[in-house]
Amino acid sequence: MHGDMAMLLLADSRLPAGGHAHSGGAEEAVRVGAITGPEDLARFLRGRLATAGVVTAALAAAACEVGSNPQPGRWQRLDAEADARISSPAQREASRTQGRLLVRTTRRIWPSESLETLAQAVPDGAHHPVALGAAAAAAGCEPRQAALAAAYTSVTAPATAAVRLLGLDPVLVHRLLADLAPALNDAAHEACVIQADDWSDLPAHAAPALDLLAEQHLRTEVRLFVS
Amino acid sequence: MSANHEDHHHAPDGHGRALRLGIGGPVGSGKTALVAALCRSLGPSLRLGVVTNDIYTTEDADFLRRAGVIDADRILAVQTGCCPHTAIRDDIAANIDAVETLEERFGPLDLVIVESGGDNLTATFSRGLADRQIFVLDVSGGDKVPRKGGPGVTAADLLVVNKTDLAPMVGADLTVMSRDAAKVRDGKPVLFTSIREDKGAHSVAEWVVGIVDTWQHQHAHTV
Protein backbone atom coordinates (compact mmCIF):
# COMPACT_ATOMS: atom_id res chain seq x y z
CA MET A 1 0.00 0.00 0.00
CA HIS A 2 0.96 3.62 0.02
CA GLY A 3 1.50 4.18 3.71
CA ASP A 4 4.19 6.85 3.50
CA MET A 5 2.12 9.12 1.29
CA ALA A 6 -0.96 8.59 3.44
CA MET A 7 1.02 9.40 6.58
CA LEU A 8 2.15 12.70 5.03
CA LEU A 9 -1.44 13.60 4.14
CA LEU A 10 -2.71 12.72 7.61
CA ALA A 11 0.04 14.71 9.33
CA ASP A 12 -0.33 17.75 7.07
CA SER A 13 -1.94 20.72 8.81
CA ARG A 14 -3.75 21.40 5.54
CA LEU A 15 -5.79 18.21 5.88
CA PRO A 16 -9.32 19.68 5.86
CA ALA A 17 -10.52 18.11 9.10
CA GLY A 18 -10.91 21.07 11.44
CA GLY A 19 -7.50 20.81 13.12
CA HIS A 20 -6.60 24.42 12.36
CA ALA A 21 -9.02 25.64 15.04
CA HIS A 22 -7.34 23.72 17.90
CA SER A 23 -4.26 24.96 19.75
CA GLY A 24 -3.62 22.01 22.08
CA GLY A 25 -3.66 24.28 25.13
CA ALA A 26 -1.28 26.83 23.63
CA GLU A 27 -3.84 29.65 23.48
CA GLU A 28 -4.57 29.44 27.19
CA ALA A 29 -0.86 29.01 27.99
CA VAL A 30 -0.18 32.22 26.08
CA ARG A 31 -3.03 34.02 27.86
CA VAL A 32 -1.82 33.11 31.35
CA GLY A 33 1.82 33.87 30.48
CA ALA A 34 3.10 30.28 30.46
CA ILE A 35 4.26 30.72 26.86
CA THR A 36 5.82 34.10 26.11
CA GLY A 37 8.53 33.22 23.57
CA PRO A 38 10.53 30.45 21.87
CA GLU A 39 12.14 29.10 25.07
CA ASP A 40 8.81 28.61 26.84
CA LEU A 41 7.31 27.17 23.68
CA ALA A 42 10.13 24.64 23.33
CA ARG A 43 9.52 23.42 26.89
CA PHE A 44 5.77 23.31 26.33
CA LEU A 45 6.16 21.23 23.16
CA ARG A 46 8.63 18.84 24.77
CA GLY A 47 6.31 18.32 27.74
CA ARG A 48 3.27 17.86 25.54
CA LEU A 49 5.04 15.31 23.36
CA ALA A 50 6.25 13.31 26.37
CA THR A 51 2.74 13.10 27.86
CA ALA A 52 -0.28 13.69 25.62
CA GLY A 53 1.84 13.01 22.54
CA VAL A 54 2.93 9.53 23.66
CA VAL A 55 -0.58 8.60 24.78
CA THR A 56 -2.16 9.80 21.55
CA ALA A 57 0.50 8.00 19.49
CA ALA A 58 -0.12 4.73 21.34
CA LEU A 59 -3.88 4.99 20.88
CA ALA A 60 -3.45 5.78 17.18
CA ALA A 61 -1.16 2.78 16.72
CA ALA A 62 -3.64 0.51 18.50
CA ALA A 63 -6.49 1.92 16.39
CA CYS A 64 -4.51 1.33 13.21
CA GLU A 65 -4.15 -2.30 14.23
CA VAL A 66 -7.90 -2.55 14.96
CA GLY A 67 -8.56 -0.99 11.56
CA SER A 68 -7.03 -4.00 9.84
CA ASN A 69 -9.66 -6.21 11.52
CA PRO A 70 -12.42 -3.79 12.51
CA GLN A 71 -15.27 -4.86 14.79
CA PRO A 72 -17.70 -2.51 16.55
CA GLY A 73 -16.93 -3.95 19.97
CA ARG A 74 -13.18 -3.43 19.55
CA TRP A 75 -13.72 0.18 18.48
CA GLN A 76 -15.90 0.82 21.51
CA ARG A 77 -13.40 -0.72 23.89
CA LEU A 78 -10.47 1.21 22.44
CA ASP A 79 -12.48 4.43 22.50
CA ALA A 80 -13.21 3.78 26.18
CA GLU A 81 -9.46 3.31 26.78
CA ALA A 82 -8.91 6.75 25.19
CA ASP A 83 -11.68 8.25 27.32
CA ALA A 84 -10.06 6.91 30.47
CA ARG A 85 -6.74 8.54 29.54
CA ILE A 86 -8.09 12.07 29.07
CA SER A 87 -9.02 13.44 32.48
CA SER A 88 -10.21 16.94 31.52
CA PRO A 89 -13.82 17.05 30.25
CA ALA A 90 -12.89 20.01 28.02
CA GLN A 91 -10.13 17.96 26.39
CA ARG A 92 -12.40 14.96 26.00
CA GLU A 93 -14.92 17.16 24.22
CA ALA A 94 -12.25 18.70 21.97
CA SER A 95 -10.85 15.25 21.20
CA ARG A 96 -14.27 13.88 20.22
CA THR A 97 -15.04 16.93 18.09
CA GLN A 98 -11.75 16.54 16.21
CA GLY A 99 -12.30 12.81 15.90
CA ARG A 100 -15.79 13.31 14.45
CA LEU A 101 -14.52 15.82 11.88
CA LEU A 102 -11.55 13.61 11.00
CA VAL A 103 -13.81 10.63 10.32
CA ARG A 104 -16.15 12.84 8.28
CA THR A 105 -13.24 13.98 6.12
CA THR A 106 -11.22 10.79 5.81
CA ARG A 107 -14.11 8.46 5.01
CA ARG A 108 -14.55 10.49 1.83
CA ILE A 109 -10.82 10.35 1.03
CA TRP A 110 -10.28 6.67 1.91
CA PRO A 111 -13.67 4.89 1.87
CA SER A 112 -13.20 1.76 3.95
CA GLU A 113 -14.67 -0.76 6.34
CA SER A 114 -12.34 0.55 9.03
CA LEU A 115 -13.90 4.03 9.06
CA GLU A 116 -17.47 2.87 8.42
CA THR A 117 -17.45 0.49 11.37
CA LEU A 118 -15.89 3.15 13.61
CA ALA A 119 -18.51 5.75 12.60
CA GLN A 120 -21.26 3.26 13.41
CA ALA A 121 -19.70 2.01 16.64
CA VAL A 122 -19.10 5.52 18.05
CA PRO A 123 -21.66 7.72 16.29
CA ASP A 124 -21.13 10.88 18.37
CA GLY A 125 -17.46 11.00 17.46
CA ALA A 126 -14.59 8.72 18.42
CA HIS A 127 -11.62 10.24 20.21
CA HIS A 128 -9.19 11.92 17.85
CA PRO A 129 -6.31 9.40 18.10
CA VAL A 130 -8.74 6.51 17.56
CA ALA A 131 -10.12 8.23 14.46
CA LEU A 132 -6.60 9.00 13.27
CA GLY A 133 -5.54 5.36 13.64
CA ALA A 134 -8.67 4.17 11.85
CA ALA A 135 -8.02 6.59 9.00
CA ALA A 136 -4.38 5.52 8.86
CA ALA A 137 -5.45 1.89 8.52
CA ALA A 138 -7.93 2.84 5.81
CA ALA A 139 -5.18 4.66 3.94
CA GLY A 140 -2.76 1.75 4.12
CA CYS A 141 -0.48 2.86 6.97
CA GLU A 142 1.32 0.64 9.48
CA PRO A 143 0.71 1.30 13.20
CA ARG A 144 4.10 3.01 13.48
CA GLN A 145 3.11 5.50 10.77
CA ALA A 146 -0.16 6.21 12.55
CA ALA A 147 1.81 6.77 15.78
CA LEU A 148 4.22 9.15 14.07
CA ALA A 149 1.40 11.18 12.53
CA ALA A 150 -0.36 11.40 15.89
CA ALA A 151 2.75 12.42 17.82
CA TYR A 152 3.70 14.92 15.13
CA THR A 153 0.32 16.67 15.06
CA SER A 154 0.32 16.80 18.87
CA VAL A 155 3.17 19.31 18.66
CA THR A 156 2.57 21.06 15.34
CA ALA A 157 -0.89 22.30 16.33
CA PRO A 158 0.31 24.24 19.41
CA ALA A 159 3.43 25.43 17.56
CA THR A 160 1.31 26.95 14.77
CA ALA A 161 -1.06 28.49 17.29
CA ALA A 162 1.85 30.12 19.13
CA VAL A 163 3.13 31.60 15.86
CA ARG A 164 -0.28 33.12 15.20
CA LEU A 165 -0.92 34.36 18.73
CA LEU A 166 2.51 35.74 19.62
CA GLY A 167 3.84 36.63 16.19
CA LEU A 168 6.87 34.39 16.76
CA ASP A 169 9.38 33.92 13.96
CA PRO A 170 7.93 30.93 12.06
CA VAL A 171 11.38 29.74 10.96
CA LEU A 172 12.61 29.65 14.54
CA VAL A 173 9.51 27.70 15.58
CA HIS A 174 10.14 25.18 12.81
CA ARG A 175 13.65 24.77 14.10
CA LEU A 176 12.16 23.91 17.51
CA LEU A 177 10.00 21.29 15.81
CA ALA A 178 13.00 19.87 13.95
CA ASP A 179 14.86 19.58 17.27
CA LEU A 180 12.08 17.30 18.50
CA ALA A 181 12.89 14.59 15.91
CA PRO A 182 14.60 12.18 18.35
CA ALA A 183 11.81 12.62 20.91
CA LEU A 184 9.24 12.05 18.18
CA ASN A 185 10.93 8.80 17.21
CA ASP A 186 11.02 7.69 20.83
CA ALA A 187 7.33 8.48 21.22
CA ALA A 188 6.42 6.42 18.15
CA HIS A 189 8.62 3.58 19.40
CA GLU A 190 7.01 3.60 22.84
CA ALA A 191 3.59 3.74 21.18
CA CYS A 192 4.16 0.51 19.28
CA VAL A 193 5.48 -1.64 22.12
CA ILE A 194 2.02 -2.81 23.18
CA GLN A 195 0.27 -4.47 20.29
CA ALA A 196 -2.07 -6.98 21.86
CA ASP A 197 -5.72 -6.57 22.71
CA ASP A 198 -4.79 -5.91 26.31
CA TRP A 199 -4.91 -2.17 26.01
CA SER A 200 -4.83 -1.59 29.74
CA ASP A 201 -1.03 -1.52 29.38
CA LEU A 202 -1.06 1.31 26.85
CA PRO A 203 0.76 4.43 28.08
CA ALA A 204 -1.35 6.63 30.35
CA HIS A 205 0.90 9.58 31.10
CA ALA A 206 -0.93 12.41 32.83
CA ALA A 207 -0.30 16.11 32.19
CA PRO A 208 -2.19 17.99 34.93
CA ALA A 209 -1.01 21.38 33.66
CA LEU A 210 -2.51 20.68 30.22
CA ASP A 211 -5.74 19.51 31.87
CA LEU A 212 -5.96 22.74 33.89
CA LEU A 213 -5.19 24.89 30.84
CA ALA A 214 -7.95 23.14 28.88
CA GLU A 215 -10.50 23.70 31.66
CA GLN A 216 -9.53 27.36 32.09
CA HIS A 217 -9.62 27.88 28.34
CA LEU A 218 -13.22 26.75 28.18
CA ARG A 219 -14.13 29.42 30.73
CA THR A 220 -12.21 32.23 29.03
CA GLU A 221 -14.47 34.72 27.31
CA VAL A 222 -12.25 35.74 24.40
CA ARG A 223 -11.05 32.66 22.54
CA LEU A 224 -9.78 32.27 19.00
CA PHE A 225 -9.33 28.51 19.17
CA VAL A 226 -11.76 25.77 20.11
CA SER A 227 -9.23 24.20 22.47
CA MET B 1 -11.17 0.01 -2.90
CA SER B 2 -13.23 3.12 -3.48
CA ALA B 3 -15.31 1.62 -6.25
CA ASN B 4 -17.64 -0.12 -3.82
CA HIS B 5 -18.21 2.92 -1.65
CA GLU B 6 -20.31 5.80 -2.82
CA ASP B 7 -19.51 9.20 -1.38
CA HIS B 8 -22.84 9.61 0.37
CA HIS B 9 -21.63 11.74 3.28
CA HIS B 10 -21.86 14.87 1.29
CA ALA B 11 -24.55 15.79 -1.17
CA PRO B 12 -23.00 17.96 -3.85
CA ASP B 13 -26.13 17.55 -5.96
CA GLY B 14 -28.17 18.96 -3.10
CA HIS B 15 -31.15 16.64 -3.38
CA GLY B 16 -33.40 16.85 -0.37
CA ARG B 17 -31.37 19.34 1.61
CA ALA B 18 -31.51 23.04 2.32
CA LEU B 19 -29.85 25.64 0.15
CA ARG B 20 -26.61 26.74 1.83
CA LEU B 21 -26.03 30.47 1.52
CA GLY B 22 -22.67 31.96 2.50
CA ILE B 23 -22.49 35.59 3.58
CA GLY B 24 -18.99 37.09 3.62
CA GLY B 25 -17.36 40.50 3.63
CA PRO B 26 -15.01 42.77 5.55
CA VAL B 27 -15.31 43.46 9.28
CA GLY B 28 -18.11 45.90 10.11
CA SER B 29 -19.77 45.92 6.69
CA GLY B 30 -23.04 44.62 8.12
CA LYS B 31 -22.95 40.84 7.66
CA THR B 32 -24.58 40.07 11.00
CA ALA B 33 -27.13 42.87 10.48
CA LEU B 34 -27.96 41.35 7.08
CA VAL B 35 -28.39 37.87 8.60
CA ALA B 36 -30.74 39.34 11.22
CA ALA B 37 -32.65 41.23 8.53
CA LEU B 38 -33.03 38.09 6.40
CA CYS B 39 -34.25 36.12 9.44
CA ARG B 40 -36.84 38.87 10.07
CA SER B 41 -38.05 38.89 6.48
CA LEU B 42 -37.82 35.18 5.68
CA GLY B 43 -38.52 33.60 9.08
CA PRO B 44 -42.30 33.57 8.61
CA SER B 45 -42.15 31.73 5.28
CA LEU B 46 -38.93 29.65 5.26
CA ARG B 47 -37.48 27.05 7.64
CA LEU B 48 -34.12 28.57 8.60
CA GLY B 49 -30.83 27.69 10.27
CA VAL B 50 -27.84 29.96 10.88
CA VAL B 51 -24.13 29.18 11.39
CA THR B 52 -21.87 32.02 12.56
CA ASN B 53 -18.07 32.08 12.36
CA ASP B 54 -17.02 34.46 15.10
CA ILE B 55 -13.46 35.64 15.27
CA TYR B 56 -13.10 35.80 19.05
CA THR B 57 -16.19 35.02 21.03
CA THR B 58 -19.71 34.00 20.22
CA GLU B 59 -20.61 37.68 19.81
CA ASP B 60 -22.33 37.41 16.44
CA ALA B 61 -24.32 34.38 17.54
CA ASP B 62 -25.24 36.17 20.79
CA PHE B 63 -26.32 39.27 18.86
CA LEU B 64 -28.64 37.19 16.70
CA ARG B 65 -30.04 35.34 19.71
CA ARG B 66 -30.70 38.62 21.55
CA ALA B 67 -32.30 40.14 18.46
CA GLY B 68 -34.90 37.40 18.77
CA VAL B 69 -35.26 37.06 15.01
CA ILE B 70 -34.82 33.28 15.05
CA ASP B 71 -35.17 30.50 17.62
CA ALA B 72 -31.86 30.59 19.55
CA ASP B 73 -31.32 26.84 19.12
CA ARG B 74 -31.22 27.27 15.36
CA ILE B 75 -28.00 29.30 15.57
CA LEU B 76 -24.69 27.46 15.89
CA ALA B 77 -21.32 29.21 16.35
CA VAL B 78 -18.07 27.86 14.89
CA GLN B 79 -14.65 28.96 16.13
CA THR B 80 -11.96 29.55 13.56
CA GLY B 81 -8.55 29.62 15.31
CA CYS B 82 -7.35 33.04 14.09
CA CYS B 83 -8.25 32.21 10.49
CA PRO B 84 -11.87 32.97 9.55
CA HIS B 85 -10.89 32.54 5.95
CA THR B 86 -9.60 28.99 6.42
CA ALA B 87 -12.87 27.85 7.97
CA ILE B 88 -14.97 28.82 4.96
CA ARG B 89 -12.59 27.93 2.14
CA ASP B 90 -9.67 25.59 2.89
CA ASP B 91 -10.90 23.53 5.82
CA ILE B 92 -14.68 23.61 5.92
CA ALA B 93 -15.09 20.54 8.16
CA ALA B 94 -16.37 22.39 11.25
CA ASN B 95 -18.83 24.45 9.22
CA ILE B 96 -20.20 21.43 7.34
CA ASP B 97 -20.56 19.67 10.69
CA ALA B 98 -22.57 22.62 12.05
CA VAL B 99 -24.79 22.84 8.94
CA GLU B 100 -25.55 19.12 9.05
CA THR B 101 -26.18 19.25 12.79
CA LEU B 102 -28.85 21.92 12.20
CA GLU B 103 -30.42 19.86 9.42
CA GLU B 104 -30.47 16.75 11.60
CA ARG B 105 -31.97 18.58 14.58
CA PHE B 106 -34.51 20.79 12.84
CA GLY B 107 -34.77 19.46 9.32
CA PRO B 108 -36.04 19.55 6.78
CA LEU B 109 -34.88 23.15 6.37
CA ASP B 110 -35.24 25.45 3.37
CA LEU B 111 -32.22 27.66 3.93
CA VAL B 112 -29.06 27.52 6.05
CA ILE B 113 -27.14 30.79 6.21
CA VAL B 114 -23.40 30.55 6.96
CA GLU B 115 -21.98 33.91 8.05
CA SER B 116 -18.20 34.14 7.74
CA GLY B 117 -15.99 35.94 10.21
CA GLY B 118 -15.03 39.43 9.04
CA ASP B 119 -12.21 39.08 6.56
CA ASN B 120 -10.59 40.78 3.60
CA LEU B 121 -11.53 41.20 -0.03
CA THR B 122 -10.08 37.84 -1.05
CA ALA B 123 -12.42 35.80 1.15
CA THR B 124 -14.73 33.42 -0.66
CA PHE B 125 -16.67 30.34 0.34
CA SER B 126 -15.73 26.87 -0.83
CA ARG B 127 -18.31 25.34 -3.16
CA GLY B 128 -18.19 22.35 -0.83
CA LEU B 129 -19.77 24.56 1.85
CA ALA B 130 -21.95 27.20 0.17
CA ASP B 131 -24.22 26.68 -2.83
CA ARG B 132 -24.59 30.44 -3.29
CA GLN B 133 -22.80 33.38 -1.72
CA ILE B 134 -23.37 37.02 -0.92
CA PHE B 135 -20.49 39.46 -0.40
CA VAL B 136 -21.27 42.51 1.75
CA LEU B 137 -19.40 45.81 1.44
CA ASP B 138 -20.27 49.14 2.98
CA VAL B 139 -19.90 52.61 1.53
CA SER B 140 -17.69 53.84 4.38
CA GLY B 141 -14.93 51.46 3.29
CA GLY B 142 -14.49 53.82 0.33
CA ASP B 143 -16.13 53.98 -3.08
CA LYS B 144 -12.99 52.53 -4.71
CA VAL B 145 -13.54 49.07 -3.23
CA PRO B 146 -15.68 47.63 -6.06
CA ARG B 147 -13.09 48.79 -8.60
CA LYS B 148 -10.35 46.98 -6.66
CA GLY B 149 -12.29 43.79 -7.12
CA GLY B 150 -11.00 40.63 -5.48
CA PRO B 151 -12.72 37.24 -5.54
CA GLY B 152 -15.43 38.26 -3.04
CA VAL B 153 -16.50 41.30 -5.06
CA THR B 154 -16.18 39.75 -8.49
CA ALA B 155 -17.37 36.19 -7.95
CA ALA B 156 -20.17 36.37 -5.34
CA ASP B 157 -23.62 35.56 -6.65
CA LEU B 158 -24.86 38.81 -5.13
CA LEU B 159 -22.89 41.89 -4.08
CA VAL B 160 -24.57 43.96 -1.38
CA VAL B 161 -23.36 47.52 -0.77
CA ASN B 162 -24.66 48.46 2.67
CA LYS B 163 -24.91 51.70 4.72
CA THR B 164 -25.98 53.85 1.79
CA ASP B 165 -27.36 56.29 4.38
CA LEU B 166 -23.74 57.16 5.24
CA ALA B 167 -22.69 57.91 1.66
CA PRO B 168 -23.01 61.73 1.89
CA MET B 169 -21.09 61.77 5.18
CA VAL B 170 -18.11 59.76 3.93
CA GLY B 171 -18.05 61.26 0.45
CA ALA B 172 -18.85 57.99 -1.29
CA ASP B 173 -20.29 58.21 -4.79
CA LEU B 174 -22.86 55.44 -5.21
CA THR B 175 -22.96 55.94 -8.97
CA VAL B 176 -19.24 55.22 -9.17
CA MET B 177 -19.63 52.13 -6.97
CA SER B 178 -22.51 50.86 -9.07
CA ARG B 179 -20.69 51.44 -12.35
CA ASP B 180 -17.42 49.82 -11.14
CA ALA B 181 -19.20 46.84 -9.64
CA ALA B 182 -21.11 46.20 -12.85
CA LYS B 183 -17.84 46.33 -14.77
CA VAL B 184 -15.98 43.73 -12.63
CA ARG B 185 -19.00 41.48 -12.01
CA ASP B 186 -19.90 40.62 -15.53
CA GLY B 187 -23.59 41.30 -15.13
CA LYS B 188 -24.13 39.55 -11.79
CA PRO B 189 -26.49 41.47 -9.48
CA VAL B 190 -25.58 44.29 -7.08
CA LEU B 191 -28.01 45.66 -4.48
CA PHE B 192 -27.64 48.84 -2.42
CA THR B 193 -29.07 48.73 1.09
CA SER B 194 -29.33 50.65 4.31
CA ILE B 195 -30.20 47.94 6.77
CA ARG B 196 -30.42 50.54 9.53
CA GLU B 197 -33.38 52.06 7.71
CA ASP B 198 -34.80 48.89 6.14
CA LYS B 199 -34.73 46.36 8.97
CA GLY B 200 -35.82 43.56 6.68
CA ALA B 201 -33.35 44.23 3.85
CA HIS B 202 -36.28 43.57 1.55
CA SER B 203 -34.50 43.73 -1.78
CA VAL B 204 -31.93 41.16 -0.61
CA ALA B 205 -34.65 38.98 0.93
CA GLU B 206 -36.49 38.98 -2.39
CA TRP B 207 -33.32 37.81 -4.17
CA VAL B 208 -32.84 35.03 -1.58
CA VAL B 209 -36.44 33.84 -2.00
CA GLY B 210 -35.73 33.62 -5.72
CA ILE B 211 -32.66 31.45 -5.34
CA VAL B 212 -34.37 29.21 -2.76
CA ASP B 213 -37.31 28.70 -5.15
CA THR B 214 -34.98 27.84 -8.00
CA TRP B 215 -32.97 25.50 -5.77
CA GLN B 216 -36.04 23.65 -4.56
CA HIS B 217 -37.37 23.35 -8.07
CA GLN B 218 -34.07 21.89 -9.29
CA HIS B 219 -33.37 19.66 -6.31
CA ALA B 220 -36.76 18.37 -5.27
CA HIS B 221 -36.77 14.78 -4.00
CA THR B 222 -37.74 12.63 -6.93
CA VAL B 223 -37.75 9.32 -5.07
The domain spanning residue A103 has which CATH number? Answer: 1.10.4190.10
Per-residue confidence band for A196, with pLDDT thresholds at 50, 70 and 90: low
What is the tens place of the pLDDT at every residue in A142-188?
999 999 999 999 999 999 999 999 999 999 999 999 999 999 999 99
Distance CA B23, CA B152 (A): 10
- In this predicted structure, what is the pLDDT of residue A221? 82
- The residue of chain B with its CA nearest to that of A124 is B101
- In this predicted structure, what is the pLDDT of residue B57? 67
Kindly report which listed range (A42-56, A104-118, B78-92) carries the lowest average pLDDT score: B78-92
Q: In what order do the strands lie in the sheet with B111-115?
A: B75-79, B48-54, B111-115, B19-24, B132-138, B158-162, B190-192
Residues belonging to chain B with any Cβ–Cβ distance to chain A shorter than 8 Å: 1-2, 4-5, 7, 9-10, 55-57, 78-83, 86-87, 90-94, 96-97
* Share of chain A residues as helix, strand and coil, in percent rounded to the nearest 5: 70, 0, 30
Mean pLDDT of B158-183: 94
- In this predicted structure, what is the pLDDT of residue B222? 54
A220 domain residue, yes or no: no
A219 domain residue, yes or no: no
- In this predicted structure, what is the pLDDT of residue A1? 55
**pLDDT > 70: percent of chain B:** 91
Residues 6+ apart with CB under 8 A from A203: A54, A55, A58, A190, A191
The DSSP code for B117 is: P
- DSSP H or E run through B78: strand B75-79
Is the CATH number of domain B16-211 3.40.50.2300? no
Q: Which of A97, A100, A108, A166 to mutate to test the interface with B (most CBs of B within 10 A)?
A: A108
- Look at A223 and B5 and tell me if their CB atoms are within 8 Å: no
- The residue of chain B with its CA nearest to that of A221 is B57
Q: Is A117 on the interface with B (CB under 8 A)?
A: no
Q: Is the pLDDT of residue B189 over 80?
A: yes
A147 domain residue, yes or no: yes
A127 domain residue, yes or no: yes
Q: What is the pTM of this model?
A: 0.88
A124 domain residue, yes or no: yes
Write down the domain spans for chain B: 16-211
Residues 6+ apart with CB under 8 A from A219: none
- In this predicted structure, what is the pLDDT of residue B149? 83
Tell me if A29 sits within 8 A of A166, measured CB to CB.
Answer: no
Q: Is A223 on the interface with B (CB under 8 A)?
A: yes
Predicted-complex ipTM score: 0.84
Q: Which of B82, B90, B119 to mutate to test the interface with A (most CBs of A within 10 A)?
A: B82
Mean pLDDT of A111-126: 96
Query: How many structural domains is chain A composed of?
Result: 1
- Look at A20 and B87 and tell me if their CB atoms are within 8 Å: yes
A131 domain residue, yes or no: yes
Residues 6+ apart with CB under 8 A from A85: A55, A59, A202, A204
Distance CA B17, CA B120 (A): 30
- In this predicted structure, what is the pLDDT of residue B83? 82
Q: Is A198 on the interface with B (CB under 8 A)?
A: no
Provide the residue range defining the domain that includes A201.
Answer: 3-214
- In this predicted structure, what is the pLDDT of residue B20? 98
Q: State the average pLDDT for chain A.
A: 94
Distance CA B177, CA A203 (A): 63
Nearest CA-CA distance, residue B74 and chain A, Å: 19
Distance CA B122, CA A126 (A): 35
- How many residue pairs from chains A and B have C-beta atoms closer than 8 A? 76
Q: Is the pLDDT of residue B185 over 60?
A: yes
Mean pLDDT of A6-14: 96
Distance CA B125, CA B162 (A): 20
Q: Is A124 on the interface with B (CB under 8 A)?
A: no
A8 domain residue, yes or no: yes
A71 domain residue, yes or no: yes
A 10 A CB-CB count for A58 gives: 33
- Look at A111 and B1 and tell me if their CB atoms are within 8 Å: yes
- The residue of chain A with its CA nearest to that of B10 is A108
Annotated binding site of B for GTP: 25-32
Distance CA A146, CA A135 (A): 9
